[in-house]
A and B are shown apart, each in its own frame.
Chain A
Amino acid sequence: MAQREAVIPATTTRRLWTWFHRLASPRYFYELAGRLIPWFGWAAAVLLAAGLYGGLWLAPPDYQQGDAYRIIFIHVPAAWMSLFAYVAMAGAGFIGLVWRIKLAEVVARACAPLGASFTLLALCTGSLWGKPMWGAYWVWDARLTSELVLLFLYLGYIALDAAIEDRRKAARATSVLALVGVVDIPIIHYSVEWWHTLHQGPTVFKLGGPSISLDMLVPLLLMVVAFKLFFFAMMLVRARTEVLEREVNSAWVREVVGEP
């Protein structure tokens, strides 16, 4: 303890904790989120427009796939976000379970439908890309299959959340499920990959790799950042609404909503 205090002055630590506690207070979060959402939202919109313009107009067609590859500008960010949202959900759930911070439970719950949507988007774009590439909308490709299992995990989380009436209990139960899922997802991913190489041989070809051209990489990265900002904006919108719903009986909510 003495050592740590020597490195970080006690006042800084205390200030950090006060900030953390304030952040965990529903009203402070509600106001902070209200101020952050437009920033995240507009930044996401601008980057999305730039990324789409760069990806759909400026980037050259691929020498093998022609224009069909352009779906990666949606597909890859969506697939990354599908995993990111799950990890964020489990992380928030862990914080809620261990430190009993209600706000973390709210954030975890807000992640689930967004993550499920990103997963569905990745699946749909993946199968649309598969039609010209593999000649079929659905093949049991390793990544598509793990993505499908991930969608089931999200749906299970949402179903469990809907089945338990007591909000606190539902939040804690779903957090345990999300943590089990986080342990299992890498195992599922690698087992599916292993299953796939066993049965079908490697995929026809793989996107990415070090050979991706800069003209394609830049819009792709723009899209990745745009998706992430969009996720944060939407997550905050959902969390904000739920904070209102949970605190409906408190004075500040009535003040904010303008009810007598």
Chain B
Amino acid sequence: MSAGAPPGPLAAAAALVRRDLTLFFRRRAEVLNPLLFFVIVVTLVPLGVGPEAATLRAMAPGVVWVAALLAAMLSLEGIFRSDYDDGALEQLAISPQPLAVLVLAKVLAHWLVSGLPLVLLGPVLGASLFLPGRAMGALVLGLLLGTPVLSLIGAIGVALTVGVRRGGVLLSLLVLPLYVPVLIFGASAASNAAAGLDVSGPLALLGALLALALSLAPPAAAAALRISLG
């Protein structure tokens, strides 16, 4: 960028999203692996519990959501890890832009390549577990509201552990308990819909969680990043 006044926070955030998306497309395999993991975990369930349609149908929302949680968690390191390793993160931290906005931009880019595919794959995997068609809308909507929360909470966890060697398992220990509400509301939206019940309650609560995470997680992750960068 040429010398002169620095761009505003929004312009900087947009540039960061573009840059991260480009980087993700250059490393497609890394992005695809968690999705493959998502599919494989769901495939393992019928092999473990048996192929009976009734059992699988009852379990489908929970299984898809648990697998989505695990896949989201596996992909989390991608938010900050490579930028931490090559020093780009320090450049972001000393830039004149508010770090929380930049964190939000990075989470958005990461969600576009890791969360959105989970939303799209969800109904396919649900169908493979005999989830009835009327539950698909609630499953997709729930994933659409819930996976950004997973990325936002996860960003705090990654920011805290990015300086730790072999932080992967530690990250799961930190982040998975915090995912409990998303799992509960997401899975019950889909199972309510499968049972023909009202889904507005859990979906509204998921939306509330998203609003809360959007407002609180970026500053928390920014503070955690500053601590990790020391």
Contact = CB atoms under 8 A, between A and B. Distances in A.
Given A173-B227, A177-B160, A188 B180 contact: yes
Interface stretch (A25-33, A57-65, A155-163, A231-239): A155-163
Contact of B177 (A153, A160, A173, A195): A153
A260 B201 CA distance: 68
A36 interface: no
B160 A173 contact: yes
A177 B170 CA distance: 13
Chain B CB within 10 Å, residue with most, of A155, A188, A192: A188
A19 interface: no
16 contacts: A149-B180, A152-B177, A153-B178, A156-B174, A159-B173, A159-B174, A160-B161, A169-B228, A176-B227, A180-B156, A184-B181, A187-B181, A187-B212, A188-B181, A191-B205, A192-B184
Interface residues of B, number: 28
B190 interface: no
Interface in B179-230: 180-181, 184-185, 188, 205, 209, 212, 216, 220, 223-224, 227-228, 230
A17 interface: no
Contact of B188 (A169, A173, A195): A195
A115 to B, nearest CB: 14
A155 B170 CA distance: 10
B87 to A, nearest CB: 18
B229 to A, nearest CB: 10
Chain B CB within 10 Å, residue with most, of A97, A155, A163, A179: A163
Contact of A194 (B163, B178, B184): B184
B164 interface: yes
